[in-house]
Amino acid sequence: MRSPSSLHDIPTPALIVDVPALDRNIARMAAFFAGGPCRLRPHFKAHKTPAIARRQLTAGSCAGLTCATVAEAEVARDLCGDLLLANEVVSPDKCLRVAALARERALTVAVDSGAGIDALAAAARSAGVTIGVLVDVNVGQGRCGVEPGDAAVALAARVAATSGLTMRGVMGYEGHLQPLRDRVERDARARAAMHELVETARRIRAGGIPCEIVSSGGTGTYDISGRVDGVTEIQAGSYALMDTDYGSVGVPFEQAFFVLGTIVSRPSPERCVADCGHKSMTKDHGHPSVKGVDGATVTALNDEHAVIAVPASCTLSIGDRVQLIPSHTDPTANLHDVFYAVEGERVVDVWSIAARGYAEHRQ
Ligand SMILES: Cc1ncc(COP(=O)(O)O)c(C=O)c1O
């Protein structure tokens, strides 16, 4: 395919990224962490795109990158020398892939069970490497993680006593607090969660066990958790591209990516239909918004159709382009192969979403 040079030549549906807006978001977050002591560890899962991760790392203030899957870490290995897999890895084949990565990069993995420790350690020993470990602590999200306090201290002791592993710290992702609209409540609850995490780290150290990293945070809490004494790094991801969900949380980042569609039908004065359905953007956080069309609202997303209610005065007609603002960044980026990088109407580059999907199943 010939590379499109303008927004109007891009085959739709397509993901576009507004490069100046992206760079402003990245610069703003890097500036927040520039004074330290807490560092930023951008979450690669948000975009899975090496070109975006490079911009985040170049902007500075980063301790490294965060990944959610082994496959993401295998792509991110070429981007920086310090990776955190902020997720449990337990199956022997994946643990061996982790061990292979640990041979060439500083790699740290979350654990929350004895079985997880044993699986990682077996892979590390068979590969002759050492894998760094964070004990994953449940700070209220109720997903993975051991309880703060005694259970976490006991697991840390087990990690420290296991050959093939190095005990590096704790992580506690306060994911349940990211979308809280009430800033006062978000602030109070994130601080309380972080105090539990930091206190758990203190108790681990008091037992003579190393615990240098205290990792946490996301786009909704970076400026709360990232200022709690003792938290050493923040794993925010969505801030770079943003979505309508975070747009209503009141964080200081701009919408920087869109799904580009073409109007394929105008069946009535009050209705337009575009060719970008939920195979091009997810609706788990609600319908997308329409950029720059007064009074337009998405009323349905089908597989390949976005149904848009418009005022009768709306001039959109068949063949026109529309930009929809996704409600959830990460799973939307995962649906596409590339981002068209644009400045205004001009396509300046095409960026591979190299870590999308489940790479291990590709033939
Ligand atoms: C463990 C972990 N850390 C950090 C994040 C980053 O959050 P956000 O994209 O909200 O910045 C997530 C997102 O789900 C996560 O699961």
3-state percent helix, strand, coil for the chain, nearest multiple of 5 = 35, 25, 40
Tell how far the Cα of 285 is from the centroid of ligand 1, in angstroms: 15
Mutate to test the pocket of ligand 1, among 235, 241, 246 (most ligand atoms within 8 A of CB): 235
> What residue owns the CA closest to ligand 1's atom 4?
235
Q: Which residue has the tokens 């037992």?
A: 207
- Cα Dmax for the chain: 72
> What residue owns the CA closest to ligand 1's atom 3?
235
Tell how far the Cα of 218 is from the centroid of ligand 1, in angstroms: 5
Helix (H, G, I), strand (E, B) or coil at 297: strand
CA–CA separation, 166 and 134 (whole Å): 9
Tell how far the Cα of 66 is from the centroid of ligand 1, in angstroms: 9
Indicate which atom in ligand 1 lies nearest the CA of residue 171.
1
CA–CA separation, 83 and 119 (whole Å): 19
In this prediction, residue 3 carries a pLDDT of 82
Indicate which atom in ligand 1 lies nearest the CA of residue 329.
9
Mutate to test the pocket of ligand 1, among 72, 111, 143, 173 (most ligand atoms within 8 A of CB): 173
Tell how far the Cα of 46 is from the centroid of ligand 1, in angstroms: 8
In this prediction, residue 326 carries a pLDDT of 98
* pTM score: 0.97
Identify the segments of the chain with pLDDT beneath 70.
1-2
pLDDT tens digits along 73-86: 999 999 999 999 99
Tell how far the Cα of 169 is from the centroid of ligand 1, in angstroms: 18
Indicate which atom in ligand 1 lies nearest the CA of residue 330.
9
Tell how far the Cα of 264 is from the centroid of ligand 1, in angstroms: 36
The beta-strand segments (E) located in the chain are 14-18, 39-40, 65-67, 82-88, 106-111, 131-136, 165-171, 213-216, 233-234, 257-268, 271-274, 289-290, 297-301, 306-309, 321-325, 338-343, 346-352
Q: Are 120 and 111 in contact (CB under 8 A)?
A: yes
Tell how far the Cα of 175 is from the centroid of ligand 1, in angstroms: 7
In this prediction, residue 1 carries a pLDDT of 61
Q: Are 132 and 187 in contact (CB under 8 A)?
A: no
Residues with CB under 6 A from ligand 1: 43, 46, 86, 173, 175, 178, 218-219, 235-238
CA–CA separation, 38 and 30 (whole Å): 11
Mutate to test the pocket of ligand 1, among 69, 135, 178 (most ligand atoms within 8 A of CB): 178
Tell how far the Cα of 319 is from the centroid of ligand 1, in angstroms: 37
What are φ and ψ of residue 215, in 5° steps?
A: -115, 140
In this prediction, residue 360 carries a pLDDT of 85
Mutate to test the pocket of ligand 1, among 43, 44, 88, 214 (most ligand atoms within 8 A of CB): 43
Tell how far the Cα of 283 is from the centroid of ligand 1, in angstroms: 18
Indicate which atom in ligand 1 lies nearest the CA of residue 178.
10
pLDDT tens digits along 155-181: 999 999 999 999 999 999 999 999 999
Q: Which of 38, 43, 142 is nearest to 84 (CA)?
A: 43
> What residue owns the CA closest to ligand 1's atom 12?
218
Tell how far the Cα of 243 is from the centroid of ligand 1, in angstroms: 14
Tell how far the Cα of 239 is from the centroid of ligand 1, in angstroms: 10
Dihedral, CA of residue 239, residue 64, residue 134 and residue 191, to nearest 10: -40
Indicate which atom in ligand 1 lies nearest the CA of residue 222.
11
